[in-house]
Each structure stands twice: as C-alpha cells, then as structure tokens.
Amino acid sequence: MRCHLQRALITGITGQDGSYLAELLLSKGYEVHGVIRRASTFNTGRIDHIYVDPHLPNVRMFLHYGDLSTGGRLIDLIYSIRPDEVYHLGAQSHVMVSFENPEYTGDITALGTTRLLDAIRRSGVATRFYQASSSEMFGAAPPPQNEQTPFHPRSPYGAAKVYAYWVAINYREAYGMFCSNGVLFNHESPRRGPTFVTRKITRAVAHILAGKQDKLYLGNLEAKRDWGYAPEYVESMWKILQSERPDDYALGTGESHTIREFVTEAFEYAALDWRKHVSIDDRYKRSAEVDSLRADSKKAERDLGWKPKISFRELVRIMVDGDMGPRFTPIRLRRSALMMSAYRFQNTWKIPNRVVCGNLRVSSALTSGIILAPGKYGESLRTTRFRSSDCIAFRISSGAAPPSSCVTFFGPERKYNSGQSLPANINPFGLCSRRKRDKSSKNAAPSIFNPPARGPCMVSIWPTT
C-alpha cells in the first residue's frame, strides 16, 4: 500500500457515493475537488455539511462546474487541478431511466468516461484513475460473479458500463496509465436517491407511519441483489488506488436477498404489515430483468484487506431510521432497561411553534415494562411503567411553554380521546403527575393500556411528520 495522496478529483461528488467518498478523503487529509453540473436549483444537499466557503482559510474542498458531455472543459479541470487521484463516479446511473433514455445514458456513462480518460492523457498529468463499474454489467451471468465472469448486460446502463470498463483497461494497456475498475455490487444508504427501489421502500415506510402515503407500488419482487452499505464501499475505492499497480476488483457482501425480503424487513422493523400497503405495478418491471447478483470478492479481501461488516438487516434498519429523520432515531428498550428513570432523546421535543407527531410501537408486549413519555412541556423524556401495549400513536402540539398539550391515543383496536385538550402536567399516556387532572373533561385519558401480555418487548419511538 502507498502513502495516501493529497489531491483528489471526484466526478459525481453530489451523489451518494461521491458524498461519502469526499468525507473519507477529507478525513485522510486530502484536498478534494468535485465536478458539478450547473443547474438552476441547488443539487448539493448531500455535501452541504462538508462544504466550506472557499474564501475562508485552510479550505480543502472545492467545487467546479463541468460536464461529462464536454471534453474541453474536462481537459481544463485536469490541467488546472493536477489531481493525484481521479475518482470517476459520475454517470446516468438509473437502470430504468436508461431504458427510457438510452442515447443519453450511452453519451454520459460510456463516452463520458472516454472524454475524461483522454483529458488525463492529453493533459500529461500523472494521476491514478478509478472507474466506478457496476454489477449490472454481469446481467444474465449466473451467480456468484467475480472478476473472471463474462459480462452479459441486460440494460442500456449495464452496456454503457461495460464500454467504460473496457475503455479504462484500454487506456491502461495502450498508454501505461494507472486505471483501475471497481465492480461494485448494490450498495445503499440513507443518501440513496429516492427513485431507487431500496430508498423508495424505506421512504414509503416513513410516509405510511406519518399518514402521508398508504400504498407502495413496486415491480418484480423476486429479483435478487447483493446489497451492502455504501460508506464501506467508498473505502474500497480508496484502497484500490493505493495499490502498487492497477487492477480490477469485484466487491460485494457475498449474500443475495430478494426485493421481497427487503420489503419484509423494512416494514416489520416499523411494525407494519407490508401486504396491506404494497401493490405490484407492471410499469416498474424491466424490459429485460437481471434475476440474481451475488459477489465473489475473494480477490478484494486478499489484495486489499477489504471486507464489508454491515449485515443486510442492519443496512435496512439504517435506511429506515434515516428516513424517519435524524431527530427520531428509535429508542429500543430491553428487559435490562426496565428500571431506567430518565432519558433524553436528542432534544426531539424542543421544537417551538410546530406540531410534532409520533408513534410508540411495542412489537410484542411484556407483562410489565416501561414506556417513554414527554416530560414538562415536552423538553425531555421520562420512563413510566406499563403492563403491556401493542401500539399507541400520539400527537403533541407544543409551543414555547404551552399551557396544554393536545393528545390523541390509539390502542391496538380502538381510539381514545381524539383531540382532547389536557393540562400540561398530564403526559400523553394518561398517567398523572402531582397536579390534579382537569375533571371537566368528559373524555379523560385512560390510566394504562392492558391488552393480553405475550413474549419479550421492543419499544421504538417513530415520527409521523
């Protein structure tokens, strides 16, 4: 392995992989340059948290306008930046869109790679080049797939990536350039685009819980993919360019799961029955399906020391949590947590002058346990003992030190006290504090829910906004 280099250029820096890669390189002391397309709307949401005004001192991240459709601009960028490493992640990477717009996909994904490689060659800059190849290149080839598996792409996107793969090898062999391919199998995260199937599923879970959506429409549920966690995969990109000589690697988890399994895991994590919400729409089925992808990454493990750690189940839960929102990461309590006396939940309820909603879900009830309830004016969470409960949804309208909270209760089968106005000293689960309850209310909140108890308990707090 070489010592890490200091200056990197990333195409596709505003995408899922580009944003994680920029974070990684900055953490390693790099000066990072990213190519972005000019647009009338902002498209830098994934990197806003690491962007620094270039007028400030010690800035190590810079953005440049450019486009893979214009070779002249790419030559200018390579010559002026003179990067030590180039990570080519930019592409039209949506498979379904590639069927609808194959010419554009070929121009950007395939020929864009040629333009960038030739810009490097013409500039005379000695740099190392990483080409982001895709498991879609394998297509109909039977699993497991590795570096020796023949390509059989089943989409214009897959075919364009095969071209880019081989043109990178061609420039390596013809001009002695350091060009390496990373054939990455599906890798996901909360930053995945919302039109990709995994993110589409996890966003639907959040929207269903929020009452914003009832149905999720999908295509083929039986397609099998090797899904991993994107931040782990960008580390493999960096490792590939630290090698002594250029080479090509297939990278994945070695496990495959159907889309049906992904749906089931995501909905069950949120205590939802996916069969009540998922419908099949043939418009989302591909013209030529890729049935099964599963990586054989022995070469990467041997040469790079790279091996993914995040499991399929952990990946799904990370993505669901991400779509629930950063303030609403679930709190899960096991039997050992039953005697907790207080808990602060990332200041969830310190949101002035807006309505906050949420669900408390107990996947299966305990004979005794605890629930979490907002404290005074919703500024903290405190635990309260309970006997058992399946699901309670609540809505709290909170301002700056409000005199009361509007609470809605939902039990497993019936609704309690819809829209009832309660004094601020009454928590949403109907358990009184020291002051007395407002006796004028006809629909006083029940003191406790007590359906039949069964099995161990997991408690989560989810948002509904």
Catalytic residues: 134, 136, 157
Count Cα neighbours of 100 within 13 Å in the Cβ-side half-sphere: 9
Structure tokens at 439: 């006796």
CA 59 to chain centre: 27
C-alpha–C-alpha distance, residues 139 and 40, integer Å = 36
Q: Is the dihedral of CA 1, 174, 87, 75 positive or negative?
A: positive
Report DSSP state, residue 251.
E
Q: Considering only CA atoms, which of 261, 415, 286, 428 is closest in space to residue 357?
A: 428
| H or E element at residue 262 | helix 259-269
Q: What angle do CA 2, 185, 256 make, to 5 degrees?
A: 130
C-alpha–C-alpha distance, residues 157 and 80, integer Å = 31
C-alpha–C-alpha distance, residues 59 and 53, integer Å = 8
Instruction: Confirm if 105 and 97 have CB atoms less than 8 A apart.
Output: yes
96-106 burial, b at 16+ Cβ within 10 Å, e below that, comes to bbbeeebeebb
Amino acid present at 133: S
Give one DSSP letter per residue of 315-381, joined into a string: HHHHHHHHHH-GGGPPP---GGGTT--EE--TTTT--TTEEEEEEEEESS--SSEEEEEE-GGGSSE
Count Cα neighbours of 460 within 13 Å in the Cβ-side half-sphere: 20
Q: Considering only CA atoms, which of 398, 402, 445 is closest in space to residue 426?
A: 445
Instruction: Confirm if 111 and 125 have CB atoms less than 8 A apart.
Output: no
3-state secondary structure of 313: helix
Owner of token pair 């991993």:
228
> Is it true that the peptide bond before 144 is cis, omega within 30 degrees of 0?
yes
